[in-house]
Every structure is written in C-alpha cells, then in structure tokens.
C-alpha cells in the first residue's frame, strides 16, 4: 500500500521507541530476480504481477491497488483532447487524458526511496509517478507538458529520415517502420521507447497529458535495435503487454497525482482507442490427462483452487473449461500443457514423489524394409569396403544437361533453397559423380554409395487428387553405387560388389543383358533379378565424364530397392552350409573370346562345366593388339573342392581340361598362357 504523505498522530505514536532504520523504512530488503523463464512473462515485469504469483503460494492474500474510478478521470470539458491512431496494428490501444492543477515538486521520501532501491533516479513528482507505476504494474506510461503538446495527438509511422531529439539530448534519424507520437505536425515521442525533448515536463509545467498505451512488441523491438536505444519502457513493451493494463495504469497514476497534488483535476475527455482481441480460451483440460502428465493424483478442488489463485476462471466437471486472465493471454498460456505447468509450479515440483513409469511397454513392430536397408548398408560399408554418402535430393539443371539428361521431365521446386539446385532428383548417381569430382584429387580409388528416394511424375508435373489439390510426387527408394579409379576394370569390380551384395542377401537368379537405354553410358547392361528389370550397370562415357569434370574412369550401378526387397522377402530363411572339411585347389585360367560374348553367360557356362568348381572370380580384363580386334582376354581365379575327399593335382588337371573343352565348344574360347 502507498504510505501516507504525512503520518497521523496515532501512526507517530506507533513508531516511538522503534529503531530509527525500522521507523524510517530503511531496513527493507531488495530481491533482484534474474531468471529468463520469469522475465519472458510480461505480467512479471511489475511488482504487482510478482505479488500476484506469490499470493498463490503464500497464506497472505493479494492486496488490491487503490485506484481512481474511471468516471473521475473524465473532465467537464474544459479541454477537448483529440486522438487519432493511423496504424492500429502497431498501436492496439491508446489512452490519454489532460490533468490540470499540477505542481512540480520533489516526490515524497517513501517514493524516492523505492525508486532508488530499484535503480532509478528521482526527478520530480510527475516523472517519478510514471516510473513508479511502470515498476509497480509493468506498464510504461508517459507524461507530456500539455502546453507544449497541445490538444491533438496523432500516432503514426515516421517519415523516412524524419528526426527527433529524445529526452537524453540525442538527435535520432527515423525510418518508415518506426512508430511516433506527434502533436499533429511534429514528433513528440518515439512510441514505446523514449519521449521527446520538445514536450518534456519542467518546473513551469501546470498541465499535463497522461499517456497509457500498448504497442506492437515486434515493432518496438526493431525500433529499439535500429536506434541502439533500449529503455525500461521498450524492454517491457517487447514482452507483449496486456492492453487492459493501460486502463489500470492510468487509474493508478491519477490516484498518485491526486495524493501529490490535491488540487489536480481531470480537465479533458478520457481518450481511449482500442483495436485488440485477446485469446482467453476457454481451454479444455482433462483432469485424468493432467494427473498423468504431472505424475500426481490431484483432486479437482485443489486444481480449481490453484487456478483461481492465479486469476483463471474455471468451470466444468472432469473436463475443466479454463478461461485465461488477460495478463496471461497475450502469448503465455494457450495450451493444456501451459495449464499443467501452472498447476505443478504452484503445487511445487519438490512435492512430487519419484515414481516409476506405469505405462505398459511393448516392443515396436519390426519394419522389415528398414531392416533390409540397414543390412544392405552393413554389407556395402563392411564387407565391400564402400563409403556411404548423403546428398541433398536437389539437382542442378545445368549439370544434368552436361550428362545429356533431359531436365524438362524433372519436378521443379516452387521455392528452391538456392538458384543452382532447383529440381528434385529422378536418379541418384549424378550427385555421386559430383562427389567423385570433389574427391578425385585426394583418392586414387573412390567407392561410394547412397540409398535414397527419387522423385518423378509424368512430364514433371504433380498429379492432382479428386479435390484438385496437388499430390506429393511418387517416391522410389533406390541404391546407387559408383566405383571410380584410373583402372579400366571398374565395371567388373563394381559388378563383383553387386553380386557379393545379392549373394549375402540370398537373392538369386541374377542376370545381365546388353542395353542402350542411357545416352551417357558405355558398356551398359541391364541388371535383371528373376527376369525382372531391377537396374542398370554401366561405365560413364569418357567424353561425358570429361564434360562434368571427372578425370578418372567411373562405373555406375543403380538398383530399385523395392524390387530387391520383394526378392529378399521371398528368399526366406537361409539354410546352414557346413564348412568344407577338405582343402581347396586353386587354378588361374585366361581365355580369349569374342568381345560380344557376355561375361555372365561365360561364367555360368564355366560353373556348369565340372561339379568340382566351387567359385569363379574374374581378376583381369584386357583388350588390345595382343589379342586381336574384336577379342577380349578374361582371366579367372577358379576354386576346386570336393566335400568327400582331398583333391589331388591330377583331379584338378582333369577338371581344368573339361572346362577348356566345354568353353571352346560353346564359345570358341582359346586358353591363353600367362
């Protein structure tokens, strides 16, 4: 409560014999609170808001403020105050009133002491009252000299490069985004930040205009930052103050002015321009959900009592309907979770006993496709020694053209992150080739792969559903691998990696056939699983490679993982194959064959030539003058084994002779010496 200006006789009797510090109120304690979670709440930027929260947890009730009724703030018409707000979005509420009979003098000692305790310098009774109310309620106000201001107030945006000299004596240049308080012609204050020197109160002031307004927090923040001027007022307006606080503040100010200047009186109409609507709910709150959320079985009566102590209005049964008070409705409380926080902080976090979670726990369903992809990655990264990479799903149109890829069928982004990457990819390997370009200087061999979605639709357009809205593009999960080095056998090395992958996955019936589907490919083969097209394996054409900046040879394989996953599922459980008890015999054979003969056909024929052959591995490919035009040399590492006995050299020689005869008869293959 506000102390009396001069103590009565009974009050003087009470303080006789008490310590001087206590009698003069010098034994008070100042608590300085620096907590971001508190200072971000607009209602806690004033002492009264803090007292309201303390009253909810202490047995002491909140003492109401002594306020002048609004009727007494309206004068008898001596002065007609005209107020116009041009931008109501930046100024949701503006209240003003003229007060005559003002006597400028020092504030009473109790007010000066409180201002000093809060770090503010006492100036005069009127200025100190506006500062006191700001600290008390959290609502900044301002007092203009009515003689200097006149009877007209216009709230508008500043003109570009318009200037004002503020109360600190600094001339400040403004822009069109800043809000001003003007006398109809000239600026008299930067709204919500600082007043102007041309309308400040001085010792000769006899009549004042009290301003109590609400301003857009974003606008105040931006203005404050641009000007490098962060005042006590701007810090509060930045927090989204309750527009209803304007009314309380102007009532409180008039009450204090009357105490300081008994002859003061309202001399004008009370201007009040509003343009705001707060979202006070009501918010639905289920008590069972609340108790589960906070971990305490709290009775309804306790919950309702807590809400009422904080100013919330509550109704309903198990499903409560909670209306939010205006001072918490600007941005603070809007969700059931916010209400749960209010209950638990007043109840006390320390009062919640630790309990084990009661929720039943069940193992999630296995995502077989994800398990398949994870296993595939383990095989490629582990056994095959490849490196997984992650690229964006966006591709560069210019680089696609360098690969002779028609970019017109690609889906274009409506709002691309950059001007370079404007399309959604339909294939992954162009991005892997960019990885090769970036790393070819540092690595002799580059083995990379990526698993990701590609996006496509007919003619590059998004399909529409029955309502006419665009649907998401079709997304297809793909595996793309690139093997790049200075050697000429990258195609076969990558082919070996793919066969190794499919072997471990238990996917059989893998075949290859020549194709010419990809314009920028050489030595291109379709990869078929069970007779179904699953992907492509090819070398990138040398001229195209140079065009995109690749200086080494590169082989590419891209496979449809949806197709492989189906085959993986149908493969079923893998049966255990016992390890061979007897040692293997190894031979290396090289054959010269016609260049048109497919490697896969030749390998299958070799495996079927003799029952002792366990494994065939290609380790060299050569074409050139030494083997003649239209010919190629294939060198194989062949493993022989018998599960029933140890093979002798004669057994291996016999099997080798059968291989040579069979391949010569079927393909005209000639055995070549190393």
The Cα 654–Cα 339 span in angstroms is 87
Kindly tell me if the per-residue pLDDT of 470 is higher than 80: no
Kindly tell me if the per-residue pLDDT of 265 is higher than 90: no
Kindly tell me if the per-residue pLDDT of 503 is higher than 90: no
CATH number of the domain encompassing residue 178: 3.50.40.10
pTM: 0.56
Reported confidence tier of residue 370, pLDDT bands at 50, 70, 90: very high
239 part of a folded domain: yes
Distance (Å) of CA 525 to CA 234, 256, 567:
70, 92, 20
| 633 and 606 both lie in a single domain | yes
* 3-class SS of residue 209: strand
CB 108 within 8 A of CB 129: no
Q: Residue with structure tokens 């028609």?
A: 406
Compare 88 and 466 and report the one with higher pLDDT.
Answer: 88
Q: Determine the pLDDT at residue 69.
A: 74
Radius of gyration of the chain (CA): 42
405 part of a folded domain: yes
**Is 338 annotated in some ligand binding site?**
yes
Kindly tell me if the per-residue pLDDT of 160 is higher than 60: yes
**Is 168 annotated in some ligand binding site?**
no
**Is 342 annotated in some ligand binding site?**
yes
Q: Determine the pLDDT at residue 11.
A: 66
Mean pLDDT of the chain: 87
The Cα 401–Cα 399 span in angstroms is 5
Structure-block tokens of residue 417: 């992150």
| 303 and 387 both lie in a single domain | no
Report the Cα 666 to chain-centroid distance in Å.
Answer: 64
**Is 183 annotated in some ligand binding site?**
no
Structure-block tokens of residue 556: 């590419």
Among 274, 295, 317, residue at a domain's last position: 274
362 part of a folded domain: no
Number of structural domains in the chain: 4
- Closest Cα partner for 141 from 224, 228, 241? 241
Kindly tell me if the per-residue pLDDT of 34 is higher than 90: no
Kindly tell me if the per-residue pLDDT of 460 is higher than 50: no
Least confident of 3-7, 114-118, 144-148, 400-404: 3-7
Structure-block tokens of residue 489: 């056998």
| 76 and 147 both lie in a single domain | yes
| 337 and 377 both lie in a single domain | no
| 565 and 432 both lie in a single domain | yes
Kindly tell me if the per-residue pLDDT of 248 is higher than 60: yes
Alpha helices, H only, 553-637: 561-571, 599-607
577 part of a folded domain: no
pLDDT tens-digit readout, 309-342? 998 999 988 899 999 999 988 888 888 999 999 8
The Cα 451–Cα 428 span in angstroms is 8
- Strands of 304-361, DSSP E: 313-316, 319-323
| 450 and 592 both lie in a single domain | no
The Cα 134–Cα 115 span in angstroms is 11
Calculate mean pLDDT across residues 20-43: 75
| 567 and 621 both lie in a single domain | no
469 part of a folded domain: yes
| 125 and 152 both lie in a single domain | yes
Q: Determine the pLDDT at residue 1.
A: 47
Domain of 477, in residue numbers: 368-571
478 part of a folded domain: yes
**Residues 6+ away with beta carbon under 8 Å from 190:** 164, 166, 172, 174, 178, 179, 180, 181, 196, 223, 227, 229
Q: Residue with structure tokens 């095989």?
A: 379
pLDDT tens-digit readout, 89-102? 999 999 999 999 89
- Closest Cα partner for 631 from 667, 584, 581? 667
Distance (Å) of CA 374 to CA 103, 367, 574:
82, 11, 18
- Closest Cα partner for 112 from 218, 191, 3? 3
Among 517, 537, 571, residue at a domain's last position: 571
CB 86 within 8 A of CB 155: yes
Q: Determine the pLDDT at residue 363.
A: 83
Calculate mean pLDDT across residues 267-284: 89
| 534 and 650 both lie in a single domain | no
| 188 and 303 both lie in a single domain | no
Q: Residue with structure tokens 């807590």?
A: 306
The length of the chain is 674
CB 265 within 8 A of CB 101: yes
Q: Determine the pLDDT at residue 463.
A: 53
Among 318, 347, 376, residue at a domain's last position: 347
Kindly tell me if the per-residue pLDDT of 461 is higher than 60: no
Q: Determine the pLDDT at residue 374.
A: 95
| 221 and 81 both lie in a single domain | yes
Compare 639 and 474 and report the one with higher pLDDT.
Answer: 639
The share of the chain scoring above pLDDT 90, in percent, equals 42
| 253 and 287 both lie in a single domain | no
Partnered with residue 181 across adjacent β-strands are 155, 189
Structure-block tokens of residue 266: 């309202």
CATH number of the domain encompassing residue 666: 3.30.70.380
Highest mean pLDDT among 404-413, 415-424, 553-562: 553-562
pLDDT tens-digit readout, 569-622? 887 656 666 777 888 999 999 999 998 888 778 888 888 888 888 888 888 888
603 part of a folded domain: yes
Compare 32 and 643 and report the one with higher pLDDT.
Answer: 643
Calculate mean pLDDT across residues 513-518: 84
What does the angle CA 93 – CA 95 – CA 101 come to, to the nearest 5 degrees? 170
399 part of a folded domain: yes
Least confident of 88-97, 155-164, 369-378, 604-613: 604-613
CATH number of the domain encompassing residue 289: 3.30.56.10
């Amino acid at each position: 409560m506000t102390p009396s200006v001069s103590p009565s006789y009974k009050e003087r009797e009470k303080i006789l014999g008490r310590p001087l510090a206590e009698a003069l109120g010098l034994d008070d304690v100042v608590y300085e609170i620096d907590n971001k979670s508190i200072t971000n709440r607009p209602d806690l930027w004033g002492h009264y808001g803090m007292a309201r929260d303390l009253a909810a947890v202490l047995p002491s009730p909140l003492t109401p403020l002594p306020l002048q009724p609004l009727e007494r703030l309206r004068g008898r018409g001596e002065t007609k105050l005209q107020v116009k707000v041009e931008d109501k979005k930046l100024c949701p509420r503006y209240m003003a009133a003229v007060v005559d009979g003002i006597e400028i003098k020092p504030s009473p000692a109790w007010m000066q002491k409180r201002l000093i305790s809060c770090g503010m310098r006492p100036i005069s009774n009127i200025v100190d009252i506006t500062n006191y109310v700001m600290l008390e309620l959290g609502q900044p106000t301002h007092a203009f000299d009515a003689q200097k201001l006149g009877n007209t107030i216009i709230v508008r945006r500043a003109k570009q490069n318009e200037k004002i000299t503020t109360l600190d004596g600094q001339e400040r240049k403004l822009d069109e985004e800043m809000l001003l308080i003007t006398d109809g012609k000239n600026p008299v204050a930067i709204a919500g930040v600082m007043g102007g020197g041309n309308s400040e109160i001085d010792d000769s002031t006899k009549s004042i205009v009290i301003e109590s307004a609400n301003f857009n927090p974003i606008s105040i923040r931006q203005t404050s930052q641009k000007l490098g001027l962060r005042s006590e007022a701007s810090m509060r307006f930045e927090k989204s103050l309750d527009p209803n606080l304007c009314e309380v503040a102007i009532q409180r100010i008039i009450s204090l002015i009357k105490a300081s200047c008994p002859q003061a009186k309202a001399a004008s109409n009370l201007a009040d321009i509003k343009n705001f609507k707060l979202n006070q709910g009501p918010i639905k709150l289920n008590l069972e959900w609340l108790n589960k959320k906070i971990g305490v079985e709290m009775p309804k009566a306790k919950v309702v009592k807590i809400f009422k102590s904080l100013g919330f209005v509550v109704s309903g049964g198990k499903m409560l309907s909670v209306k939010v008070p205006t001072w918490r409705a600007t941005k603070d409380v809007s969700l059931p979770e916010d209400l749960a926080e209010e209950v638990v902080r007043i109840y006390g976090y320390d009062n919640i006993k630790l309990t084990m979670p009661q929720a039943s726990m069940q193992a999630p369903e296995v995502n077989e496709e994800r398990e398949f992809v994870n296993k595939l990655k383990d095989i490629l990264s582990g056994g095959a020694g490849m490196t997984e990479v992650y690229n964006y799903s966006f591709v560069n149109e210019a680089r696609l053209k360098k690969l002779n890829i028609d970019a017109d069928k690609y889906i274009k982004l409506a709002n691309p992150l950059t001007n370079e990457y404007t399309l959604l990819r339909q294939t992954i390997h162009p991005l892997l080739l960019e990885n090769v370009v970036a790393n070819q200087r540092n690595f002799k061999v580059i083995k990379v792969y990526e698993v990701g979605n590609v996006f496509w639709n007919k003619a590059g357009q998004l399909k529409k559903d029955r309502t006419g809205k665009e649907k998401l593009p079709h997304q297809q999960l793909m595996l793309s691998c690139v093997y790049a080095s200075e050697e000429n056998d990258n195609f076969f090395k990558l082919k070996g990696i793919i066969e190794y992958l499919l072997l471990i996955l238990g996917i059989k019936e893998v075949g290859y056939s020549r194709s010419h589907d990809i314009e920028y490919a050489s030595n291109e083969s379709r990869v078929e699983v069970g007779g179904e097209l699953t992907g492509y394996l090819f070398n990138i054409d040398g001229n195209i490679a140079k065009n995109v900046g690749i200086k080494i040879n590169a082989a590419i394989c891209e496979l449809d993982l949806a197709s492989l996953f189906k085959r993986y599922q149908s493969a079923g459980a893998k049966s255990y194959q016992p390890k061979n008890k007897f040692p293997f015999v190894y031979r290396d054979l090289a054959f010269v064959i016609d260049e048109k003969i497919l490697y896969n056909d030749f390998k299958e024929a070799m495996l079927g030539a003799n029952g002792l052959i366990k494994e065939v591995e290609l380790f060299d490919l050569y074409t050139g003058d030494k083997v003649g035009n239209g010919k190629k040399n294939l060198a194989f590492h062949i493993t022989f084994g018998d599960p029933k006995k140890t093979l002798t050299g004669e057994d291996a020689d016999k099997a080798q002779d059968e291989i040579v005869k069979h391949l010569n008869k079927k393909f005209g293959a000639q055995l070549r010496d190393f």
